[in-house]
Amino acid sequence: MVLTRFLLFLFVLCLGSCGTGNASKNEEALPSETPAEKGASLYTVNCASCHGEDGKLGASGAKDLTLSKLSDNQIKTILKKGKNAMPPMADILENNENIDVVIQHIKSLRK
């Protein structure tokens, strides 16, 4: 019995890995989001309601992001702590990686 199960296990293992031989190809076929795309979609969902898709909307007194001259670190501080009418975004953006791609996105809106 044990031997049968072991052979079955080997068989299944072989079907999964050595059988097709193109496991890595399949991964390439599913393109994952680039950092730039991720930054843009996070921005659309979390920021565009006040700042607008192009950064210029200025709803609820939001700053025009195309005119902003802040450094990455200054932006990061505002995103984490908020500023006046802008709420803190750290929890919404979840992690530093997301914060960084959003920062790159809003800098790309500058002229």
* Contact pick of 40, 89, 101, 109 for ligand HEC (by CB under 6 A): 89
Of 92, 22, 104, 12, nearest to 65 (Cα)? Answer: 104
CA distances from 110 to 45, 86, 101, 105 (A): 19, 19, 15, 9
* Contact pick of 41, 50, 76, 80 for ligand HEC (by CB under 6 A): 50
Q: Supply the minimum distance, in Å, between the C-beta of residue 52 and ligand HEC.
A: 10
List phi, psi (to 5°) of 106.
-70, -30
Site for ligand HEC in 62-81 (CB under 6 A): 62-63, 65, 68, 70, 75, 78-79
Evaluated on CA atoms 75, 80, 85, 87, the torsion sign reads: positive
Binding region for ligand HEC (CB under 6 A):
46-47, 49-51, 60-63, 65, 68, 70, 75, 78-79, 83-87, 89, 93, 102, 106
